[in-house]
C-alpha cells in the first residue's frame, strides 16, 4: 500500500537515498530542502527544521499535495566538530537545535495526523557516535544520543495507536558530511570498521524502508545499527 512519506534533508546524501528508495517502491514522497532546488522527480518543500513555523508550513504544503504524512524520516543534521575545551556554547546549542530539537519539531507536527489515522512510522537518523561518543563531537554525539530517548518515549506514548518510532544509527557513510574528512583519517576509520569500508547511502535507506514497512509493525523503540560492525556492544 502506497504511503505518504516525508524525509527532512532529503535533497542530498542519506536523505536523498532514503527518499528515492521510498519513491522506487511506489510511495508518495516529499523531501524538505533548505537551499537550492528539490531533487528531480520528488515533491520538495522548503523547510528549516530549526524554525517551528517553517516546519508547520512544510507539513501543510505536503498535506495539501500528497495527504497527511504517514511515514516521517527525521534525517536533517549537521556537524560542527571541535574539542570540548574549544567548543562554544553557540556551537553546542546550534547542533542540538538542528539535530535533536529539529527532530522533536517534526515528530510533534507529524504526531497529530498519525494519531488521527491511528497509524504512523517515525524513523530518526542518529549515528554510531550517539552511543559510542566521538572525540571532538560532544555536541553531535549528545544530539544523536538524545534521539534514542525521543524515539523510546514516543514508543511508550503512542505505541498502542499503531505508531512506531525507531532509530537508525549509521556508521561512516559516503556523503558530503564525510567527504570533508582528510584522507588519512578516512583510512584510519576504514581500518576500525569490521566490514573494512564505508557504506553507501542506499545501505542506510534499506533499513529505513524496512522499518516503515508492514513487516516491521512490531519493531519500536529499537536502535538499528548500519555500521559494518563498528559500534558492536552498544
Ligand atoms: P549531508 O551533510 O550530506 O546532508 C545533510 C542534510 O541535512 C542536507 O539535506 C541539509 O540541507 C539538511 N539540513 C541541515 N540542516 C538543516 C536545517 N536546519 N533544516 C533543514 N535541513 C537541514 O549529510 P548526510 O546525508 O551525510 O547525513 C544525513 C543524516 O545522517 C544526518 O542526520 C547525519 O548526522 C546522519 N549521519 C551521517 C553519517 C555519515 O557518515 N554521512 C553517519 C551517521 C549519521 P541543505 O542541503 O539545505 O544544507
Pocket test for ligand 1, best of 6, 10, 11, 13 (most atoms within 8 A of CB): 13
Which residues lie closer than 8 Å to 153 by C-beta, 6 or more apart? Answer: none
Which residue's CA is the nearest one to ligand 1's atom 34?
A: 77
- Cβ atoms 164, 217 nearer than 8 A: yes
Say which residues have a Cβ less than 8 Å from residue 227's Cβ, sequence separation at least 6.
Answer: 128, 169, 170, 171, 172, 193, 199
Of 43, 59, 124, 140, which residue is the catalytic one?
Answer: 140
ipTM for the assembly:
0.99
Q: Which residue has the least CA distance to atom 39 on ligand 1?
A: 173
Distance of CA 50 to the CA centre of its chain: 15
Cα distance between residue 101 and residue 86, in whole Å: 23
Which pLDDT value is given to residue 36?
Answer: 84
How far is residue 129's CA from residue 142's CA, in Å, rounded to a whole number?
9
Of the listed ranges 49-53, 80-84, 177-181, 199-203, the one predicted with least confidence: 177-181
Measured in Å, residue 9 CA sits from the centre of ligand 1 at 6
Verify whether residue 218 is a known catalytic residue. Answer: no
Top mutation candidate among 6, 76, 195 for ligand 1, by most atoms within 8 Å of CB: 76
Q: pLDDT category, 234, cuts 50, 70, 90?
A: low
5 vs 41: which has the higher pLDDT: 5
pLDDT (tens digit per residue) in 41-59: 899 999 999 999 999 999 9
Q: What are phi and psi of 52, to 5 degrees?
A: -60, -35
Band (pLDDT 50/70/90 cuts) for residue 35 is: confident
Place of cell 520528488: 42
Query: What's the N-to-C CA distance of the chain in angstroms?
Result: 34
Q: Which residues contact 103 (CB under 8 A, 6 or more apart)?
A: 49, 74, 124, 147, 150
Nearest CA to ligand 1 atom 36: 127
Domains of the chain listed by start with CATH number = 4-222 (3.40.50.720)
Write down the pLDDT at residue 214.
Answer: 96
Q: Which H helix or E strand runs over 141?
A: helix 138-158
Spatial neighbors of 202 by CB under 8 A, at least 6 apart, are 17, 21
Q: How far is the CA of 178 from the centre of ligand 1 (A)?
A: 10
**Mean of the per-residue pLDDT values for the chain?**
97
pLDDT of 119 reads 98
| Lining residues, ligand 1, CB within 6 Å | 8-9, 11-15, 32-35, 47-50, 75-78, 98, 102, 125, 127, 170, 172-173, 175-178
| Cα–ligand 1 centroid distance for 160 (angstroms) | 31
Provide the percentage of residues in the chain whose pLDDT is more than 70. Answer: 100
Q: How confident is the model at residue 147 (pLDDT cuts 50, 70, 90)?
A: very high
87-126 pLDDT tens trace: 999 999 999 999 999 999 999 999 999 999 999 999 999 9
What would the pLDDT profile of 130-146 be if each residue is shown by its tens digit?
999 999 999 999 999 99
CA of 99 to the centre of ligand 1 (A): 9
Amino acid at each position: 500500500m502506497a504511503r505518504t512519506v516525508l524525509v527532512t534533508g532529503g535533497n542530498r546524501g542519506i536523505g536523498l537515498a532514503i527518499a528515492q528508495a521510498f519513491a522506487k517502491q511506489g510511495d508518495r514522497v516529499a523531501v524538505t530542502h533548505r537551499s537550492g532546488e528539490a531533487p528531480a522527480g520528488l515533491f520538495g518543500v522548503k523547510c528549516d527544521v530549526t524554525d517551528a513555523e517553517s516546519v508547520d508550513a512544510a507539513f501543510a504544503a505536503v498535506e495539501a499535495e500528497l495527504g497527511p504524512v504517514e511515514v516521517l524520516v527525521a534525517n536533517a543534521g549537521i556537524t560542527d566538530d571541535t574539542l570540548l575545551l574549544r567548543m562554544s556554547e553557540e556551537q553546542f546549542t546550534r547542533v542540538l537545535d538542528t539535530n535533536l530539537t529539529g527532530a522533536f519539531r517534526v515528530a510533534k507536527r507529524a504526531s497529530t495526523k498519525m494519531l488521527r489515522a491511528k497509524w504512523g512510522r517515525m524513523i530518526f537518523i542518529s549515528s554510531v557516535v550517539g552511543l559510542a561518543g566521538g572525540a571532538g563531537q560532544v555536541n553531535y554525539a549528545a544530539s544523536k544520543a538524545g534521539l534514542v530517548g525521543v524515539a523510546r518515549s514516543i514508543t511508550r506514548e503512542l505505541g498502542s495507536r499503531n505508531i512506531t518510532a525507531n532509530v537508525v544509527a549509521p556508521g561512516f557513510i559516503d556523503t558530503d558530511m564525510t567527504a570533508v574528512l582528510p584522507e588519512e583519517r578516512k583510512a584510519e576509520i576504514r581500518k576500525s570498521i569490521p566490514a573494512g569500508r564505508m557504506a553507501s547511502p542506499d545501505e542506510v535507506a534499506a533499513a529505513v524502508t524496512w522499518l516503515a514497512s508492514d513487516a516491521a509493525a512490531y519493531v519500536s523503540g529499537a536502535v538499528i545499527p548500519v555500521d559494518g560492525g563498528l559500534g558492536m556492544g552498544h
